[in-house]
Chain A
Amino acid sequence: MISKRIAAALAGATTVSLLLVACGDNGGGQSSTSGDSVKSLTILDYYNNDPDKSLVQKGLDSCASKLGITIQRETVPGDTLIQKVLQQASSKTLPDVLMLDNPDVQQIAATGALAPLNDMGLNSDGVIQGMVDATSYEGKLYGLAPVTNTIALFYNKDMLAEAGVQPPKTWDELKAAAKKLTKPGRYGIAFNANATYEGSWQFLPAMWTNGGDETDLTSPQVAEALQLWVDLVKSGSASKSVINWTQGDAKDQFAAGKAAMMVNGPWQIPALEKTPNVKWDVVTFPLNKPDQTPVAPLGGEAWTVPLNKDQAKQQKAADFVKCLNSDENELAWAKARFTLPTKTALLDQYAKEVPSMKAFAEQVKTARARTGKLGDKWPDAAKVIYQAIQLALTGKASPQDAFKQASGG
């Protein structure tokens, strides 16, 4: 059971998938003249299960044929990706194109393993700021993410109608609704507060929306957000098991009708569609005070180019990443499996075409990257966050003290 790196996998909400589209092209695929001698590229990613695996394959194949190359792709389980990257780095066998979960990009870039994309004709024009923050390090762009995702509040339409409850807009409404929706064999809300980065990621909408900040985790705003989690669990509106649940577990509870609401991401939609008797909709995460703006964390994976002695190959890899991030590809990939394009201009059009993604499209515009402020120091803060959540939810510390204790104070 290697790993809390599973966090990275799940928090990044793996399931981007790229249904494609061999011919819908006219964008980004043009190779910028360099090395026609390059005939093939190696690729490493963590979409290791179908349908994602084959959907991604189609997307990659289409760019490969556009560039006139062949690809050798390797997929590993999400939580082992970083380990593989480390192993390959030490043996100098990194792939030509490397997919990384967006919060990992800066950490890997900091080691000097990646090539800056600006030098190779790529830029981040039109990409939502949060994603640019995540994939840049010391002012240079190291990766581009075709699609992104975030988390919001799912609710069971029938259950809310039956209880006469409106989808909550504020924390007070959320607590009241969750309480009213709770009955024997059913919880009002399910979320994930486990001791991994995934637990931290689920906490961020509450923390950021309330004005909390990872640069000062002992602020009252952060404690208030933690109080929300504590209230939901203490009042019995959420299961005590949330401290061990993954986002997948929360989805299972929701799909089985054992939770009336859940905090989760759009990558769960295909699974939810398998249980058609559960009618659901999504709203943005509630606010503490009505004048706040919802701020959620950005998920999704970026494609990067590891440094390569073979300049021609490195350029070809950059061209490949550019192709993956063309407008057409972004939209097609987003539609294929309920993710969101990363370019602001595409978001509105997308929300119109895919109504179930409207709330997520809203959230994404204002969403922030986890590594936006702390850069490669983010994992330390994330660890303090999930440990503080665990301390507070198990009653070992008050929300006010939990962050002090967790940060070693």
Chain B
Amino acid sequence: MMRRTAYTVIGVLILCVMLFPVYWMLNASLQPSGNTLTAGFLPLHPTFSGYRRALDEQGGNLVTSMIIAAGTVVLSLAIATPCAYALSQFRSRWVSVGLLAILISQMIPGIVIANALYTAYERIGLLNSIPGLIVANCSSGIPFAILILRSFMLSLPPSLVEAARVDGAGLFRAFVSIVLPISKNSLITAGLFSFLFSWSDFLFALTLTTKGGVRPVTLGIYQYLGTQVQNWNAVMATAVLSAVPAIVLLIAAQKYIAAGAIGGAVK
């Protein structure tokens, strides 16, 4: 028991080291002065003016980010799940082609994708729109979700679906009524990561919007960084606020992160 407590203590220490920059962000957000030049280790005179300002000016952007991230989760899962099932259960030479395509997709710099999407969006009128950003963010969500879901579905015995088929269910109905419920955990894991990828996207937010209307919070922070050096605490307060969803999700979903689904994704 002693030993396990000692492990916990060591674990906490490791976490302290790893998360120090996150703490530093929090510290800076509470500092009264306009810059971090003289910041001490502790915010001895904490002020929430940075947060007030951040909520005032970035509150709407946080909501925009939330909507885009949620949309990305739904669309990514809707597209990735059937494909993952196919790649895990169907026997075809196309399976390896599909997997190779996913691997190659991970090699393409985001900026190449952003450049191309810009021209395409311009033609079909998706610039400055939430759907446009959702589709763009699916470029990180879909491949990742396919890999995670496929790895789980590989472990499904074909007999499961076969049984339903014998009862006369079509392939699609069997998929919806049997495969989806069983895959709940890995769907949550895949959704979680799609959400976080989309939440932290900056490149698409920057390149695929040309006017103020749709502005995710990462872009809001970026604008602060460029022009509000004297309001460092507001910049950092926005950063802390933008980290909150990540933290909440990580704590709420720790069971699903631990489920092993991610590691399995790469097998």
Q: Mark A232-265, 1 if CB is under 8 A from B, else 0.
A: 0000000000000010110111011010000000
The distance in angstroms between the C-alpha atoms of A249 and B226, with both chains bound, is: 12
Partner of A91, one of B33, B35, B38, B122: B122
Q: A2-B206, A256-B35 are in contact. Are A77 and B226 (CB under 8 A)?
A: yes
Which of B61-69, B192-200, B227-235, B242-250 sits within the interface? B227-235
Partner of B37, one of A2, A6, A80, A253: A253
B109: interface (CB < 8 Å)? no
Cβ of A11 to closest chain B Cβ, rounded Å:
13
Cβ of B221 to closest chain A Cβ, rounded Å:
11
The distance in angstroms between the C-alpha atoms of A395 and B156, with both chains bound, is: 63
A78 touches B227 (CB 8 A): yes
Partner of A249, one of B34, B206, B228, B229: B229
Partner of B34, one of A48, A49, A83, A255: A255
A363: interface (CB < 8 Å)? no
Q: A249-B229, A253-B37, A271-B230 are in contact. Are A80 and B206 (CB under 8 A)?
A: yes
A252 touches B35 (CB 8 A): yes
Cβ of B222 to closest chain A Cβ, rounded Å:
7
A75 — which chain B residues lie within 8 A by C-beta?
212
Interface residue tally on B, bucketed by range: 20 to 34
B37 touches A252 (CB 8 A): yes
B4: interface (CB < 8 Å)? no
B223: interface (CB < 8 Å)? yes
Q: Mark B207-231, 1 if CB is under 8 A from A, else 0.
A: 1001110000000001110111110
B118 touches A87 (CB 8 A): yes
A252 — which chain B residues lie within 8 A by C-beta?
34-35, 37, 229-230
A49 touches B228 (CB 8 A): yes
The distance in angstroms between the C-alpha atoms of A117 and B210, with both chains bound, is: 26
Q: A88-B210, A91-B122, A274-B230 are in contact. Are A77 and B37 (CB under 8 A)?
A: no
A1 — which chain B residues lie within 8 A by C-beta?
222
A48 touches B35 (CB 8 A): no
Q: Mark B5-48, 1 if CB is under 8 A from A, else 0.
A: 00000000000000000000000000001110110000000000
Q: Could you tell me the dominant secondary structure of chain B's interface residues? A: helix
Partner of B223, one of A49, A83, A88, A258: A49
B34 touches A79 (CB 8 A): no
B212 — which chain A residues lie within 8 A by C-beta?
74-76
The distance in angstroms between the C-alpha atoms of A48 and B223, with both chains bound, is: 8
Q: Mark A76-109, 1 if CB is under 8 A from B, else 0.
A: 1111100110011011000000000000000000
A9 touches B37 (CB 8 A): no
Q: A255-B34, A274-B34 are in contact. Are A78 and B226 (CB under 8 A)?
A: yes
The distance in angstroms between the C-alpha atoms of A80 and B223, with both chains bound, is: 10
Nearest CB to that of B229 among chain A residues? Answer: A248
The distance in angstroms between the C-alpha atoms of A252 and B210, with both chains bound, is: 31
A87 touches B226 (CB 8 A): no
Nearest CB to that of A72 among chain B residues? Answer: B211
A14: interface (CB < 8 Å)? yes
A9 touches B230 (CB 8 A): no
A14 — which chain B residues lie within 8 A by C-beta?
227
Cβ of B49 to closest chain A Cβ, rounded Å:
13
The distance in angstroms between the C-alpha atoms of A79 and B207, with both chains bound, is: 12
Q: Mark A310-328, 1 if CB is under 8 A from B, else 0.
A: 0000000000000000000
The distance in angstroms between the C-alpha atoms of A248 and B212, with both chains bound, is: 25
The distance in angstroms between the C-alpha atoms of A76 and B210, with both chains bound, is: 8
The distance in angstroms between the C-alpha atoms of A387 and B227, with both chains bound, is: 25
Cβ of A85 to closest chain B Cβ, rounded Å:
10
- Please name the 6 residue pairs, one residue from A and one from B, whose CB atoms are nearest each other, closest first: A248-B229, A49-B227, A252-B35, A256-B37, A74-B211, A91-B122
- Would you list 16 pairs from A and B whose C-beta atoms are within 8 A, ordered by A residue? A6-B226, A49-B223, A49-B224, A49-B227, A76-B211, A77-B222, A77-B227, A90-B119, A248-B230, A252-B37, A253-B37, A256-B33, A256-B35, A256-B37, A271-B34, A271-B230
A residues whose Cβ falls under 8 Å from a Cβ of B: 1-2, 6, 9, 14, 48-49, 74-80, 83-84, 87-88, 90-91, 246, 248-249, 251-253, 255-256, 258, 271, 274-275
